[in-house]
Chain A
């Protein structure tokens, strides 16, 4: 169905696209400490293989249901977990608004993440690391847009090496 066009909707989509651009910049510039602030508290951030979504199975690769859990992921990333040094580059498509319920907007947005190794053995080598879709519920109010839920449905269900940095 072709979408209905209204000025309100254009403004709304612009707000969500801006949110996504800032989200990508935050992760790609390795400002992970700022990442939890993109979410409400409580929230739901989960990375789910498409295989499970298709089969109706609930298992996620990452599942955080509070800002505290997001912050713990960041501390673990910085202090505990060991993985090859790398950088991400997110390419995020235009938000597709699929529903609105008062101040809560539902959107679906394609993403691709390229991963570049920064380690001694493979410095500068880039691979297409993950593609999929953000299935979001976003609280939009005057001045802010925050993620109430971001379910990352990962087409690339076979994770290359490991998943340390959020998508």
Chain B
């Protein structure tokens, strides 16, 4: 356990972190404040894997919050990220989801930018026959695309609007870096993408991935087919500011498991079925257990059995989010291991046996608060603080998320969460 001395334990803070006003999930002003001060503020936002843009000239369209951005690799191999909005009159410069080019030309009036976002050409700049064109003092260097700071950790590429953001290593913190080092330790191969669109606020999903409590209660696949999970050992580790969450669990020792099974009475345990084709769960020993690594605000790195994926959480308006999942393996995988990863992908994503419920869970919250209620949720499993935990029956990392959210946005969203109405 790490020390809790850096955690604000005052009564107000406790209330703030344990009672989340549903208003934060439906209020347009809150959403706008988040876009401006959180996503476009001092946060590192995941925009892609370096392996998605391996070659000079490669690009990938992405988002930071709801701002369209483009991740590029220049001729020298350096990564750049710029807002996908022409410096002339605002058109999307890059209209394809991904590709390769060394000049990005806006179709509207053909202003042309290099992969770093610098303006390289303006048609008819000198006018025609001495008429028209740009003013004599027009300076290409002053009309580049708006660029973001870019930093990488392993294969993860992050971008930040606010140049005052702390260094990425410090932002991630030691527990997250250690977990990421266990995954991003050699070249990757991208295996594909899935996209999921949910009618719910993005923070409902941010809570979901920091919530080990729901795992065996909402996701019944393992219990249904006799792979019992709820008493699996595990832990929650956070950075000092509690914004990220390293959630790990690993298989229980068999004897302890049998004793627990005998003692427990959980409705989700009902192994009436066995898999007709167990090849789905026949993997290869590779990792110790399961890891769900949530990086504030919108990245989740997951390792479930032999599946490895990044999930990019994108707000799409106050009551909608998109989840872009990218499955990957390693460049040194043999074909059999690749086949295992692809088969186990049945477990994850929008059709995943152990993940499809998460989108639904967020949506039924959003539907239930459609009356714009003043009510608040109750986030008290495992106590009131956001300290690290050595169990999986707690909501400590959700409290950590809200604690940091309040640090960033506090008054701007009405002292959220908890508000000052109580």
Contact = CB atoms under 8 A, between A and B. Distances in A.
A161 B199 contact: yes
B351 A162 contact: yes
Given A62-B346, A161-B363, A75 B273 contact: yes
Contacts of B190: 57
Given A63-B343, A162-B356, A58 B192 contact: yes
Interface in B149-206: 190-199
Interface in A29-75: 47, 49, 51-52, 55, 57-69, 71-72, 75
Contacts of B192: 49, 51-52, 55, 57-60
Contacts of B193: 49, 51-52, 57, 59, 157
A162 B279 CA distance: 24
A154 B191 CA distance: 17
Contacts of B273: 75, 79
A59 B273 CA distance: 27
Interface string B316-360: 000000100001000000000010001101100111010011011
B275 interface: yes
B196 A159 contact: yes
Interface in B260-312: 272-273, 275-277, 279-280
A63 B342 contact: yes
A157 B195 contact: yes
B351 A61 contact: yes
B221 interface: yes
Interface string B342-384: 1101100111010011011001100100000000000000000
B218 interface: yes
B102 interface: no
Contacts of B359: 161-162
Interface stretch (A9-17, A81-89, A100-108, A131-139): A81-89
Contacts of A61: 194, 349-351
Contacts of A80: 220-221, 223-225, 353
A116 B224 CA distance: 27
Please indicate which of the listed interface residues A65, A72, A122, A162 has the most CB atoms of chain B within 10 Å of its own CB: A162
A164 B280 contact: no
Nearest to B220: A80
A75 B221 CA distance: 10
B195 A158 contact: yes
A23 to B, nearest CB: 18
Interface residues of B, number: 43
B97 interface: yes
B220 A81 contact: yes
A118 interface: no
B191 A47 contact: no
Given A52-B192, A68-B277, A79 B197 contact: no
A76 B350 contact: no
B125 to A, nearest CB: 37
A5 interface: no
A108 to B, nearest CB: 21
Given A82-B360, A121-B367, A158-B322, A164 B196 contact: no
A160 interface: yes
B83 to A, nearest CB: 22
Nearest to A165: B351
A85 B196 CA distance: 18
Contacts of A82: 218, 220, 356-357, 360
Given A47-B351, A160-B197, A81 B357 contact: yes
A75 to B, nearest CB: 5
B220 A79 contact: yes
Contacts of B218: 82
Please indicate which of the listed interface residues A71, A79, A157 has the most CB atoms of chain B within 10 Å of its own CB: A79
Nearest to A80: B224
A91 interface: no
A51 B342 contact: no
Given A51-B97, A80-B221, A60 B356 contact: no
Contacts of B277: 66, 68-69, 71-72
A98 interface: no
A59 B357 CA distance: 20
A163 interface: yes
A158 B197 contact: yes
Please indicate which of the listed interface residues B190, B194, B343 has the most CB atoms of chain A within 10 Å of its own CB: B194
A59 B342 contact: yes
Contacts of B350: 61, 159, 161-163
Contacts of B272: 79
Given A84-B364, A159-B351, 7 more contacts: A66-B277, A69-B276, A72-B277, A160-B197, A161-B196, A161-B197, A162-B359
Interface of B: 97-98, 190-199, 218, 220-221, 223-225, 272-273, 275-277, 279-280, 322, 327, 338, 342-343, 345-346, 349-351, 353, 356-357, 359-360, 363-364, 367
Q: Nearest 6 CB-CB pairs, A to B? A: A59-B192, A68-B277, A68-B276, A57-B192, A163-B351, A80-B224
Interface of A: 47, 49, 51-52, 55, 57-69, 71-72, 75-76, 79-84, 121-122, 157-164
12 contacts: A58-B191, A58-B192, A58-B338, A59-B345, A61-B350, A63-B342, A72-B280, A76-B353, A81-B353, A82-B220, A161-B197, A161-B350
